[in-house]
């Protein structure tokens, strides 16, 4: 498994920052200012785990946080990784999801 170059994400229109975290919440790759996303990771994972238990599901697709500083999309990757992407406005969500999908596909190929 290769570590992606996340600068391709932050070069996209409206994307401020991107960070790939490992299964133990360690930073594997980043582009832009990822510090705010690192502080969101543990609480977001707790929310996802609680929802999975409550709903009886075993997996999640993504978690969108609409913060004052802008939206952050957290998406699970292979081997317990999480890709966090901060972007400018919710109307960009479709484009962001497409870009995230490309990066995650590159991790599994």
- The answer to whether residue 1 scores a pLDDT higher than 60 is no
Superfamily of domain 7-108, CATH level 4: Dynein light chain 2a, cytoplasmic (3.30.450.30)
28 φ, ψ (degrees, to nearest 5):
-100, -35
The pTM for the full model equals 0.90
Taking residues 34-52, report their average pLDDT. Answer: 86
Taking residues 17-39, report their average pLDDT. Answer: 88
**Greater model confidence, 68 or 58:** 68
**31-35, 52-56, 69-73: least confident range:** 31-35
Each as own residue / partner, the long-range contacts of residues 48-54 (CB below 8 Å, 24 or more positions apart, any chain) are: none
Percent of the chain topping pLDDT 90: 52
Q: What is the pLDDT of residue 17?
A: 94
């Amino acid at each position: 498994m290769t570590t992606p170059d996340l600068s391709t994400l932050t070069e996209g229109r409206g994307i401020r920052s991107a960070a790939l975290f490992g299964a133990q919440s360690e930073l594997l790759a980043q582009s832009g200012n990822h510090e705010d996303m690192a502080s969101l990771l543990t609480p977001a994972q707790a929310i996802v785990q609680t929802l999975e238990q409550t709903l009886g599901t075993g997996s999640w697709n993504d978690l969108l946080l609409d913060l004052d500083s802008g939206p952050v999309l957290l998406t699970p990757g292979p081997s317990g990784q999480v890709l966090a992407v901060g972007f400018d406005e919710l109307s960009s969500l479709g484009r962001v999801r497409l870009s995230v999908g490309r990066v995650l596909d590159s991790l599994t190929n």
